[in-house]
Amino acid sequence: MRFHLTTFGCKVNQYESQVILEHWTRQGHVQVAEPAQANVILIHSCAVTAKAVAELRKSAAALQRSAPRAGILITGCAAQTFGPELRGLHGVVGVVGTQDRGRLLEGPDVLLQQSANELFSGSKSKANMLAGVSDFRRARAQVKVQDGCSHGCTYCIVPLARGPGQSREPGEVVEEVRRLLAAGFREISLIGVNLRLYGQDLQPRSDFWDLVLTLEQTFAPLWADRARLRLSSLDPAMLGTKALEVISGSRLLCPHLHLSLQSASPTVLANMGRNHYRPEAISDFCARLEHRLGLYALGADLLTGFPDEQDSHFRETLEFCSTLPLTYAHVFPFSPRPGTPAADRANQVPEEVRRDRARQLRTLAGTKHQAFIRTLAKRNVVTMVMEGTAPYRGKCEYYVPCRLVQKSEEPGKSGVGETSEKNRVLTARELVRVHPVGTTLKGRDWGLECVLADETGECDAVTPAGSQESGERRADPDGVVRSGPGSIAGGRRAGPGPQRCP
């Protein structure tokens, strides 16, 4: 059976789509790039904002028009929270909520034979966690170590959509990381819905930093300087002495943290149900981490216009973020979600005020982001995981896009070509050392402009490997999606030493 897969939302959704993809292809089903060629279309949905649900409805309608003979299945968070409504959409033949998502692994043919009511039964089994991959669609892989959340932030629909927290056994995570390294991936992100809850349901009880330490002890002896781990969003309450020791002592972790900050106003945090951390403790941790690491990237999620957020509360957040060493931020105006306490609260902030406050934070974050890129441009060497080859591009350890330019090229002008007689062909997933030579601060090509650096710090040349986006999958003329090139070359992590590029 031919299937088309569309994924919305977070990294956890992307990972779970990969789990489904691997199961279905092992059963003999074939993924196709064009919806019109599919017998069944699976939409993996998001429900975190009203906009996400509106995009889901729009996508379902467009897919039904382009593939009127295909049956549409919807899964993900919106399927769990808006199941009855989604079942009524034209062309939708089934809705699989997150509590029953384990049935997705039975295959598209089985799902099409079952009724919508059967699909939305909600078994709440831990077997429904959807975990375990051997490949990934993108050049930088992900491993889900935790799912669900039982904290209960007053604005958040995730506990309703995904249920209480569940953790994967450390041994399972180790083996999955091992498989991905063997498959040629050189950057692996550890992801979850709420990593602060990792290990609370395991025996013996542990925490996320125990897991990171296990991975460090297992893989650093062989893979330090040849591969790296990246941490996904962290709850600020996780940032204690143990976190400082694990992060600063790691030979695998990228120097990059992303915090689910939301607000820096104690009043707003209390109203959000997030008064389990203090903004000043975050500042203290960041200062101690800078003392240990030197330069590192710091991102944050921020929410503006929460019910009863006064101008004074917002100024607390704005002023705090101005002093925090942020390098970027994801800023969202408050979006009331049905079934959450915040949706029914009085003193809702007008939408135009929410958006204006978001604009102010984005402007501040943008200024900090550009300053950070300028700082990175002064570094001698960074390491980049290759994600594309036309032009050569990827992300460095500081979560900043990089692209390779000709050695003789003036900064600000793109191009790839031969720069010496020592030519190299680079492939997706490869970890390479590059020397920044300039920056692009605006437009689609923003980030660092770099040339290759060899092991001694001298500049190598690159030979274009074709126009294919090597880190992704492409469709053959028959519509079947197959993997791109997978040859890998190791690299070295940037470190001290007399590395020089002209």
Give tens-digit pLDDT for 230-274: 999 999 999 999 999 999 999 999 999 999 999 999 999 999 999
Say how far residue 416 (Cα) sits from the centre of its chain.
28
Residues of the chain with pLDDT under 50: 116-117, 119-126, 409-421, 456, 461, 463-502
- Domain range summary for the chain, segments of one domain joined by +: 2-124, 136-376, 378-482
- What residue type is 18 in one-letter code? Q
pLDDT of residue 48: 86
Residue type, 412: G
What integer pLDDT is reported at residue 114 of this predicted model?
77
Structure tokens at 227: 């591969």
pLDDT score at 128: 65
* Residue 369 neighbours by CB under 8 Å, 6+ apart: 327, 328
Query: What's the pLDDT at 118?
Result: 55
Rounded Cα distance, 315 and 324, in Å: 14
CATH dotted code for 2-124: 3.40.50.12160
Name the residue among 129, 213, 221, 220 with its Cα closest to residue 170.
Answer: 213
SS3 annotation, 87-146: HCCCCEEEEECHHHHHHHHHCHHHHHHCCHHHHCCCCCCHHHHCCCCCCCCCCCEEEECE
Per-residue model confidence (pLDDT) at position 113: 84
> What was the pLDDT predicted at 459?
55
pLDDT in tens, 47-99: 988 889 999 999 999 999 999 999 999 999 999 999 999 999 999 999 998 88
**Residues in the chain, total:** 502
The model's pTM = 0.86
**What is the CATH superfamily name and number for domain 136-376?**
tm_1862 like domain (3.80.30.20)
Give the DSSP letter of residue 343. G
